[in-house]
Amino acid sequence: MYSSPRTAQILAAAAAIAMLAGCSGSTISSLVPTGSEQPSSTGNAPKGFTSHAGKKAGGEVAFISDFNNHAVYVIRRGQLAATLDVDGPEGLAVDTAHNLYVANVAGSNVLVYAPPYNGTPTALTDPGFRPNGVAVDARGDVAVASYESNSYGLGSIAFYAKGATSPTKVIVGDSKFAADYYCAFDASGNLYLDGKNGSGAFEAGEVVGGIGGKAVKPLTTGNLLQYPGGMQVSKTGKIAILDQSQGSGTPTIYTYNPPSHGSLGTPVATTPLSSANDAVAFAFEDRNDRFVLTADTFSTSPKVKRARSAHEDQIGQTQLFNYPGGSVVTSVRLPYNAVLVGVALDPPENP
* CATH for 8-346 (1.10.1670.10, 2.120.10.30, 3.20.20.100, 3.30.70.2470): 2.120.10.30
Could you tell me whether strands 281-285 and 291-300 are parallel, antiparallel, or unpaired per DSSP bridges? antiparallel
pLDDT, residue 331, reads 82
Residue scoring higher pLDDT (326 or 21): 326
Q: Could you tell me what percent of the chain has a pLDDT over 90?
A: 57
Neighbours of 194 (CB within 10 A): 29
Q: Residues 230-253: what's their mean pLDDT? A: 89
Give tens-digit pLDDT for 101-151: 999 999 999 999 999 999 999 999 999 999 999 999 999 999 999 999 999
Highest mean pLDDT among 156-165, 172-181, 280-289: 156-165
Lowest mean pLDDT segment, chosen from 129-133, 246-250, 293-297: 246-250
> How many angstroms separate the CA atoms of 188 and 193, rounded?
15
Phi then psi for 96, rounded to 5 degrees? -70, -15
Peptide bond into 5 cis (omega under 30): no
> How many angstroms separate the CA atoms of 335 and 295, rounded?
12
> How many angstroms separate the CA atoms of 198 and 268, rounded?
28
Residue scoring higher pLDDT (107 or 51): 107
Please name the residue ranges forming H helices in 107-214.
none
What's the pTM?
0.82
Angle of CA points 157, 296, 115, to nearest 5°: 65
CB-based burial, 78-94: b 16+ in 10 Å, e otherwise: bbbebbbebebbbbbbb
Angle of CA points 143, 2, 183, to nearest 5°: 15
Domain boundaries, the chain: 8-346
What region does 220 belong to: left with phi over 0, alpha with psi -120 to 50, or beta?
Answer: beta
DSSP-assigned beta bridge partners for residue 124: 110
> How many angstroms separate the CA atoms of 203 and 177, rounded?
7
Residue scoring higher pLDDT (313 or 167): 167
Residue scoring higher pLDDT (21 or 315): 315
What end-to-end distance do the CA atoms of the chain give, in Å?
34
Lowest mean pLDDT segment, chosen from 157-171, 241-255, 262-276: 241-255
> How many angstroms separate the CA atoms of 151 and 155, rounded?
10
Sheet holding 129-136, edge to edge: 129-136, 142-149, 156-160, 169-172
The band of 69, judged by pLDDT with boundaries at 50, 70 and 90, is very high
